[in-house]
Amino acid sequence: MRVAATLNQTFHALSDASRRRMLERLADGPASVSELAAPLPMTLAAVVQHVQVLETGGLVTSRKRGRVRTCALRDDALAGAERWLGDRRTAWQRRLDRLGDVLDATADATATADETAET
Amino acid sequence: MRVAATLNQTFHALSDASRRRMLERLADGPASVSELAAPLPMTLAAVVQHVQVLETGGLVTSRKRGRVRTCALRDDALAGAERWLGDRRTAWQRRLDRLGDVLDATADATATADETAET
DNA sequence: CTAATCGTCAAGTGACCACTTAACTATCTG
DNA sequence: CAGATAGTTAAGTGGTCACTTGACGATTAG
């Protein structure tokens, strides 16, 4: 049993749209690999690989019964990810509430050589 | 201004431990690139690249003032990610609560050719 | 038994990722 | 001004990612 999915693996698993679609599908109940594959524009083999990523990310379990592999969400799936996000959010929410936007403030005061690094 | 960070980019940004460390650091307040780099075993150049990833992920803003680029968390940083996770979690929490573990149940009943696909 | 179905495995491919080095541009300091 | 400081840029490298194809094993259906 894969118990120790790292945050790295979990977030990585979540960073792909196809995999998120599969998770959304699974939220409606367990599904076979082919069922997961059906709406996706890729081969079965590719989907199997995605399932593996989801498993090492600790998001999904699967079990093979006859020739069908059935996948289901793990109950504790998002625990780690959500915990981390939650911790950070409250931490910096507090901070941001408190001292607002240091950047904008200082920028205002002495606005000279400015450059916002955004594309 | 980068307004539209996709979930892909956000989760991707979160999937790296160094970047998460940088975020944790930033939760304690704004920091220059070198300050972010200090505890990390990599070159400044590498850190700059991580900052870019964090920016396109919509997690961080930065502004250059003189020769120092100051980075700060975005207030709405984790909104998207958390919303998605939250939605899914409640969705499948409900499901899992309701029908428990279909897999285990069926497996119990007819346990024959079983194989849990885990490393 | 024969076919189709469902999935697995291995190898290959092009794109992207996390880094490095090195040369270079500001900016601030003595 | 000279030199240190802070960051930027570009090019390159090895590794991983998201796929594909194709050959194969196992299970179920006609």
Rounded Cα distance between B112 and A117, Å, is 59
Give residues with Cβ within 8 angstroms of A59, minimum separation 6: A5, A10, A13, A14, A23, A73, A74, A77, A78
Q: Between the CA of A7 and the C1' of C19, what is the distance in angstroms? A: 21
Q: Is the CB of B18 under 7 A from strand C?
A: yes
Q: What is the length of chain B? A: 119
What mean pLDDT value characterizes chain A? 78
pLDDT under 70: residue ranges of chain B: 1-5, 91-119
Query: Which residue is it, tokens 């029908």?
Result: B99
Q: Specify the 3-state DSSP secondary structure of B1.
A: coil
Q: What is the pLDDT of residues A91-107, one digit of tens each?
A: 666 655 544 444 344 44
The answer to whether strand D lies under 7 Å from the CB of residue B4 is: no
Number of residue pairs across A and B with CB atoms under 8 Å? 162
B4-15 pLDDT, tens digit per residue, is: 568 999 999 999
Nearest to A15 among B8, B51, B95 (CB): B8
pLDDT at residue A80 in the model: 73
**Range with the largest mean pLDDT of A21-25, A74-78, A83-87, A90-94:** A21-25
Alpha-helical (H) ranges within chain B are: 7-14, 17-27, 33-37, 44-56, 79-99, 102-110
Contact B10, A88 (CB under 8 A): no
pLDDT on residue B69: 97
Please check whether the domain covering A7-73 is classified as CATH 1.20.120.80.
no
CATH fit for domain B1-100, picks 2.40.30.20, 2.60.40.740, 1.10.10.10, 1.10.1660.10: 1.10.10.10
Domain ranges of chain B: 1-100
